[in-house]
């Protein structure tokens, strides 16, 4: 019997990438906030985590049929953390604010690129508008991460060789 997964596989995969990216970024920002020594930086990272959670909620509310098409995560504790560490960067040092910010910067860039492509191919106006809105939000987040990097680590994040490429989460 046809369902959202069988009828819209490319859209379901795009949605899955977007949903997991938002979950991964929420985790990265919460982890970095817990490590930040600067209260203002910790607050900004907490704000970014909340924004990523709101993005994930907006995706689910806008596309319930795509949400239902994703594989069940029942029984998985801390699923986003486990998947992020295994699929994206297994060697990520989760105790290093610098490493977390560089990865967040790369994931934000990849998420923005994903949303821009999705906006071009969205099947509905509502989907296109949400993708455009999220692409703009990810660009703002990248700038915020760059500012936080300069504040907490010193220098420009663009000078870090690890920041050069996007991470489109997850790598499949």
Residue that is written with structure tokens 């490590």 in the block? 35
User: Could you give phi then psi for residue 18, rounded to 5 degrees?
Assistant: -65, -45
Please list, in sequence order, all residues whose beta carbon lies within 8 angstroms of the beta carbon of residue 56, skipping any fewer than 6 positions away.
Answer: 19, 22, 23, 26
Q: Looking at the whole model, is its pTM more than 0.85?
A: no
Instruction: Return the half-sphere exposure (C-beta side, CA atoms, 13 A cut-off) of residue 38.
Output: 11
Q: In whole angstroms, what is the distance from residue 101 CA to residue 103 CA?
A: 5
Judge whether 40 and 152 are in contact, CB under 8 Å. no
Instruction: For residue 73, give the nearest of 88, 86, 83, 65 by alpha carbon.
Output: 83
Give me the domains of the chain, ranges plus CATH numbers.
Answer: 4-69+78-163 (1.20.1260.10)
Query: Of 99, 139, 141, which Cα lies nearest the Cα of 119?
Result: 139
Nearest alpha carbon to residue 56 among 172, 171, 169: 169
Contacts of 48 (CB under 8 A, 6+ apart): 25, 29, 104, 141, 144, 145
Per-residue pLDDT of the chain (172 residues; tens, 9 = 90+): 455 444 556 777 778 878 888 888 898 899 899 988 889 999 999 999 999 999 999 999 988 888 887 776 555 456 555 555 555 555 567 778 888 899 899 989 988 998 998 899 888 898 899 999 999 999 999 999 999 999 999 999 999 988 888 876 543 3
Helix (H, G, I), strand (E, B) or coil at 77: coil
């Amino acid at each position: 019997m046809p369902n959202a997964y069988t009828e819209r596989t490319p859209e379901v995969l795009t949605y899955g990438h977007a949903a997991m990216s938002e979950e991964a970024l929420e985790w990265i920002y919460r982890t970095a906030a817990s490590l930040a020594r600067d209260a203002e930086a910790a607050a900004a990272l907490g704000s970014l985590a909340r924004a990523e959670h709101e993005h994930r909620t907006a995706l689910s509310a806008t596309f319930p049929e795509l949400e239902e098409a994703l594989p069940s995560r029942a029984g998985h504790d801390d699923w986003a953390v486990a998947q992020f560490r295994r699929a994206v960067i297994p060697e990520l040092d989760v105790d290093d604010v610098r490493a977390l910010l560089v990865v967040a910067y790369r994931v934000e860039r990849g998420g923005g690129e994903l949303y821009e492509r999705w906006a071009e191919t969205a099947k509905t106006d509502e989907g296109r508008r949400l993708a455009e809105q999220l692409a703009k939000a990810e660009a703002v987040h990248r700038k915020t991460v760059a500012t936080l990097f300069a504040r907490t680590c010193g220098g420009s994040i663009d000078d870090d060789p690890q920041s050069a490429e996007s991470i489109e989460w997850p790598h499949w």
